[in-house]
Structure 1
Amino acid sequence: MPIYHKVANVRSGFIALLSLLFFAINVFSNPIDLSSSGLEDPESTVDFSEMRILDTSIVTDQFSQFGVIFEPNLFYRTADHPDWASVSGPNLRTGEPEVNPFSIQFNEAHLSAAVVLIAQPPTPAIITAKLEGVDVESFETTISIDNPNQYFGFEDIIFDEIHVSYSGATRLRVDNVQLGESANLSPMKITKVIHEEDEDLKLVKVFWNSRPGRVYAVYVSEDLSEWMELDDNVQSEGEETTFIEEDLTDKEKLRFYMVEDITN
């Protein structure tokens, strides 16, 4: 994953911002759990009839041109089966032995996505939305062939992967991956730097756009050449995170700050 830095300087109370890149996301999700139709108005739907593959073939990135990749893999099924009366046309299954867990990864981040999941016999499952490998939102559910409401997914967050894990001894099939609106991960800047001082206290507050679940390191420099680490364990506070450097002296007239995402 690339590293994004944010740099700002403070000179005798005057604040200037030097912009570099980062991303911000909405942290309020709307899980799609046991829905009869999934997304109200998907941008596209992958139903696996877009291209024909030999029955039981391993599927990873064959459908990447349509926006989806399967990790580590699933298996292609070409047609209906009498044991799966509610499944029509080509679909994917988790194979024998079962691939568990597995992920549906998108070519780009989306604001919403859903997928048909069917299991026989029913199984408890955990559905997780991820962004760049980091969990964004998750919910527990039951996947079953007998349930007419078979769509699972998320809305109103930014994510690029649906991760599925299940605990039952079952056979699981995947169909009709719905992709919603693409997310615009526009480059962001440091939101603000505030310099405060009175007779007894001098401090600087640095604010930046952040993502839930991330960890940051903050550095300081007086010349943009040599950097000193101030803190290597700043936990994300959500959409915006703040770091405060306190106990500054009058000698420290010029300060450059840099923030690095160091999440493992």
Structure 2
Amino acid sequence: MSARRFEGQAVIVTGAAQGIGRGVALALAREGAQLVLADRAALVEEVAAEVQALGAMAVIARSDLETWAGAAQLNEIAVAAYGRVDVLVNNVGGTIWVQPYQEYTPEQVEAEIRRSLFPTMWCCRAVLPQMVARKQGVIVNVSSVATRGIYRIPYSAAKGGVNAMTASLAMEHAQDGIRVNAVATGGTEAPPRRIPRNAQPLNAQEQQWYQGIVDQTVASSLMHRYGSIDEQVNAILFLASSESSYITGTVLPVGGGDQG
């Protein structure tokens, strides 16, 4: 296996400021990628500095990917910097609230869908024209095994949409030399988020519901544990690389045996 699988490739990583996104960005930098790091959070500037310290190129896009305008801007930044997008890693998403479905307000349901479905939809739409024109490209969507899980039904529905879009885009664009796959991440150990998805502290009931998610996640994994960021990153980079050249339309569960 080459240690520089992405030498000279232009790669967008969304949600690059924290967690899995940051891990993907740093791993790609070590393997020679030219990066566009997308995130609304100013923390992405720290990740760009880490990438550059590894000797890789990085530009920043502080784009709102829940909107079409933000995704189009991201594509424009990438093309202006590198002339193309070889790989798109759609990592934006994550449940905001933890509660039984009947507790969600209509506004919360819509916010969850905007957070965990629309960034992937819009970014795919933004990069596809130039990938089709070049007859090559790779898209890796970050999904979740929480398509079968409790207390985050809108998030589950959004990630189910990501899975469906992954399969259908792969069917539609295989003829264009474009591969589209997804990694369905399981529970993942990560440092506390420096910018939380929900700034409100959990009350006692919400803490019980959150513990319910943790317990269900561990029970659903055949390995009965959470994974590491590196274990998720390794799967994402495999699907992004030429090592998976005969794989498309696949949702790869990385959840210790939990198939989602």
TM-score by length of 1: 0.23
- Could you say which structure has the higher strand fraction? 1
TM-score by length of 2: 0.23
Higher relative contact order (CA 8 A, sep 6+): 1
Task: Please identify the structure whose Cα radius of gyration is greater.
Answer: 1
- Could you say which structure has the higher helix fraction? 2
